[in-house]
Structure 1
């Protein structure tokens, strides 16, 4: 009898269902939920099994077995109140480009102090040395107050 030879395409994978599980990174997946709660409550019982935090930083420190929360390490999201805002969150690609020159210290002086100096000069409210007789709130600030006010959130918008 003559047997016919056929070429077949195998439908099973080359590894026949066997996988190398060492290459699959399964973080914090060893054990049941009860075991994980026990491990989280008593990490000194299981020192060989580190808990992977996946890049998340702690918001406190451990001292003498106590976890101390540090308020400065807790992230705070500052979100403005947008009630009554007429702007929409989408900016069209057809919006015109804004071309603006660099904002220099001369521009800042002109925006804040120039008009008051002109008004004081024209009304004769300047001393002989050029200082104003009636100082504004900006002029009466100490250098420390001005430095603090300049670094507050939103101070760069006017």
Structure 2
């Protein structure tokens, strides 16, 4: 079907964009839901099995005696520090350790894992090296 045919069909039929898209407007298999996470699985017999690992667990620290309130007003001033860059992070955390090891004579360029360098990104959720670099 050509583009012109689709445009004419859209103009002739019109589109009802005012009414919300609910489950009654879609096919029988459409279930919009409410954005809740599933807490288990359905078996073949349509029985629901609760999986404890899928239930979210909120870990709340004990705030007794804590002076600050947990609410930050929207009228609060912006932070004064600029966001940290990779170079600043390296200069503050890794460079002093490398300089110390160079002065002590214990620096080994083949053992950079000691300073947080990861040669492979296997097992990482977001792999940054080398496949996903911006080309």
In the superposition, the TM-score normalised over structure 1's length comes to 0.39
Structure with the bigger RCO (C-alpha within 8 Å, sep 6+) is: 2
In the superposition, the TM-score normalised over structure 2's length comes to 0.44
Largest Rg, 1 or 2 = 1
